[in-house]
A and B are shown apart, each in its own frame.
Chain A
Amino acid sequence: EDKVVQSPLSLVVHEGDTVTLNCSYEVTNFRSLLWYKQEKKAPTFLFMLTSSGIEKKSGRLSSILDKKELSSILNITATQTGDSAIYLCAVLLYSGAGSYQLTFGKGTKLSVIP
């Protein structure tokens, strides 16, 4: 069975702190790993990582994939209260007949307090 495991499950930090969220996976037919941010509605896309060792950055967020270790990290520097959300890691898998699907981890709930 395909598995995506995130840690920690929840995290409380103060504004200005730097956080690292972890994601590991054991899957078949891996294509890429994605990070999403979910506040009150649907997940919103952050990053897609396909190649190992290449960091993707967007503002204070960055992420990198390690295909040898089957894992990824999401870093957030200088956290703000607006970063409070659930961060979801998902692995894109080939599911046959030209279809792909995302298998999600259980998420890390990040709370940033002023």
Chain B
Amino acid sequence: DTAVSQTPKYLVTQMGNDKSIKCEQNLGHDTMYWYKQDSKKFLKIMFSYNNKELIINETVPNRFSPKSPDKAHLNLHINSLELGDSAVYFCASSPPGYSGNTIYFGEGSWLTVV
């Protein structure tokens, strides 16, 4: 069973469209994350979210919004897509407390905006 799963794996879409990437974890973790990895392979945190609080990286444009229907899901919605949004988006999750080796990544969603 995949611990953190993301869909779609690949997405090609036109500028100006609105799209969503879904993420689900079956680990019972409390905290979920979205990371963006750009063409230079730099992984940057976008959001972290648990039952209590959404923490937003202030550099993320407000066209990006996380939506969590329940504890096991954190979807990423992107409005008015721009060329610069092309990247790989990784979802991740972790249990309460900290233990870095228990942050689990999904396999990534490759977004290409044309």
Please list the residues of chain A having a beta carbon within 8 angstroms of any beta carbon in chain B.
31-32, 34, 38, 41-43, 45, 48, 86, 88, 90, 92, 94-104, 106-107, 109
A-B contact pairs, 6 of them (CB 8 A): A41-B107, A95-B48, A99-B55, A102-B92, A107-B42, A109-B41
B44 contact set on A, CB distance < 8 A: 104
B69, CB-defined interface residue at 8 Å = no
Report the bound CA distance from A83 to B98 in whole Å.
29
B101 touches A34 (CB 8 A): yes
Main secondary structure of the interface of A (DSSP, over half): strand
Chain A residues with Cβ under 8 A from B97's Cβ? 98
Closest B residue, CB atoms, query A9? B40
Question: Does chain A have a CB within 8 A of B45?
Answer: yes
B3-36: CB near A (< 8 Å → 1, else 0) gives: 0000000000000000000000000001101010
Q: For B30, B53, B98, which residue has the most chain A Cβ atoms within 10 angstroms?
A: B98
B96 lies within 8 A of chain A by Cβ: yes
Q: A48-B100, A97-B50 are in contact. Are A43 and B105 (CB under 8 A)?
A: yes
Known: A41-B107, A42-B106, A92-B100. A101 touches B48 (CB 8 A): yes
Q: Give the residues in chain A near B40, CB-CB below 8 Å.
A: 106
The answer for the CA separation of A41 and B89 in the assembled complex, in Å, is 11
In the bound complex, do residue B98 and residue A100 qualify as a contact, i.e. CB atoms below 8 Å apart?
yes
